[in-house]
Amino acid sequence: MAEYSKVAPTPLLKDELDIVIPTIRNLDFLEMWRPFFQQYHLIIVQDGDPSKVIKVPEGFDYELYNRNDINRILGPKASCISFKDSACRCFGYMVSKKKYIFTIDDDCFVAKDPSGKDINALEQHIKNLLSPSTPFFFNTLYDPYREGADFVRGYPFSLREGIPTAVSHGLWLNIPDYDAPTQLVKPLERNTRFVDAVLTIPKGTLFPMCGMNLAFNRELIGPAMYFGLMGDGQPIGRYDDMWAGWCMKVICDHLGLGVKTGLPYIWHSKASNPFVNLKKEYKGIYWQEELIPFFQSATIPKDCTTVQGCYLELSKQVKAKLGKVDDYFIKLADAMVTWVEAWDELNPVEGKAVEANGVVPK
């Protein structure tokens, strides 16, 4: 039997996890999350006008950073942090001192499971992160480490230990995370299907990573979780989490780290304007037909053994290959380098030579 299939209480990790929330509005939504979030430290990244006062419900332990703070802390390197876009959330990843990050959008509410019970999304993310991943061979009963599941007949015993999980990608009930064209043709579509499953995304497979219900091991993959240059002054938006997901997955595959998707669900409360979204997305929709093959074929040299080293190597390839698609990618590649430099300045110990715990299979 899989060692992790035994029932055990999930560690709360309250001293090892920060919750990062990007916002432009008062955080009334935290009242609903109070039973699950109150014992954790929050990092709030305020986007937009820094003179606006963001109200946070009483009783929460938090620090709040606005654009003036970002400029003060990073100086000239603040240019790598997006403005007027939720991509600014990655500044919270950089200033955190905790091992784990959970990030959530302010329009995401507590969902209910089919029995009507409130879903503790954070607890499920922690379960996902603390159990191994199995990206080298697919298990048809999905996550073998969950209660009531195991490795099926024919699963190689040599792969049953799994590898460390770096990222846990959660899903959404109600408003699905659709692009603008899909929103326009399906304006009334709602996701009502609760699928009780967690999957490891196989090695060599990319996926669209959504940043609104996401957790990761900051020590294992933090420097790769850069949400790019989006929003104000940039030709593209709403691809911040996608970009981070593609870069992260290539690096996880190289370093022998796992990525899970599925549970937990949150309730995504409101749909953004599809016409505004189309304006932000249209270049991305066009460019992604070249971006995906780029990431599918990207290889990282074996001597790159740290996340930073892998990320800098990827930035060179972005500049050399995607720079031909549009000059924006030359600017983005430079910002990727700036991001790593800023990360290492704020995280000097872990930034030097932390190797992933995973083993790259031969």
Q: Let me know if residue 11 belongs to a domain.
A: no
For 75-102, write each residue's pLDDT tens digit. 999 999 999 999 999 999 999 999 999 9
Pairing of strands 258-268, 41-46: unpaired
Give first-to-last CA distance, the chain, whole Å: 26
11 confidence band (pLDDT: 50, 70, 90): confident
Q: Let me know if residue 41 belongs to a domain.
A: yes
For 139-169, write each residue's pLDDT tens digit. 999 999 999 999 999 999 999 999 999 999 9
pTM: 0.94
Mean pLDDT value across residues 334-347: 98
Domain carrying residue 194: 17-346
For 178-225, write each residue's pLDDT tens digit. 999 999 999 999 999 999 999 999 999 999 999 999 999 999 999 999
Question: Does the pLDDT of residue 359 top 50, yes or no?
Answer: no
Structural contact between residues 60 and 19, judged by C-beta atoms closer than 8 angstroms: no
What single DSSP character describes residue 118?
A: B
For 271-312, write each residue's pLDDT tens digit. 899 999 999 999 999 999 999 999 999 999 999 999 999 999
Q: Let me know if residue 359 belongs to a domain.
A: no
Q: Let me know if residue 50 belongs to a domain.
A: yes
pLDDT, residue 352, reads: 45
Q: Let me know if residue 175 belongs to a domain.
A: yes
Measured CA to CA in angstroms, residue 337 lies from 69, 302, 326 at distances of 21, 20, 18
pLDDT, residue 8, reads: 63
For 303-337, write each residue's pLDDT tens digit. 999 999 999 999 999 999 999 999 999 999 999 99
Q: Let me know if residue 332 belongs to a domain.
A: yes
Q: Let me know if residue 307 belongs to a domain.
A: yes
Tell me the average pLDDT of the chain.
Answer: 94
The answer for residues whose C-beta is within 8 angstroms of residue 59's C-beta and 6 or more apart is 34, 38
Q: Let me know if residue 351 belongs to a domain.
A: no
DSSP code string of 160-174 = TT-B-EEEEEEEEEE
Q: What is the CATH number of the domain that holds 61?
A: 3.90.550
Number of domains making up the chain: 1
Provide the sign of the torsion angle of the four alpha carbons 339, 43, 119, 192, taken in this order. Answer: negative
